[in-house]
Chain A
Amino acid sequence: GAVVSQHPSWVICKSGTSVKIECRSLDFQATTMFWYRQFPKQSLMLMATSNEGSKATYEQGVEKDKFLINHASLTLSTLTVTSAHPEDSSFYICSARDDVTAPKYNEQFFGPGTRLTVL
Chain B
Amino acid sequence: AQTVTQSQPEMSVQEAETVTLSCTYDTSENNYYLFWYKQPPSRQMILVIRQEAYKQQNATENRFSVNFQKAAKSFSLKISDSQLGDTAMYFCAFMKHVVEYGNKLVFGAGTILRVKS
Counting CB contacts under 8 A, is B97 at the interface? yes
A interface size (C-beta, 8 A):
25
How far, in angstroms, from A107 to B50 measured CA to CA in the complex? 9
How far, in angstroms, from A31 to B103 measured CA to CA in the complex? 12
User: Residues of B contacting A38 with CB < 8 Å?
Assistant: 43
Known: A41-B112, A43-B107, A105-B50. A112 touches B101 (CB 8 A): no
Known: A43-B108, A44-B107. A107 touches B47 (CB 8 A): yes
Which of these binds chain B: A15-23, A62-70, A80-88, A91-99?
A91-99
State whether B44 touches A42 (Cβ < 8 A): no
Q: 24 A–B contact pairs at CB < 8 A? A: A32-B102, A41-B110, A41-B112, A43-B107, A43-B108, A43-B109, A43-B110, A44-B91, A44-B105, A44-B107, A46-B105, A49-B104, A51-B102, A57-B102, A91-B43, A95-B45, A95-B105, A97-B101, A102-B101, A106-B33, A107-B35, A107-B50, A110-B37, A112-B44
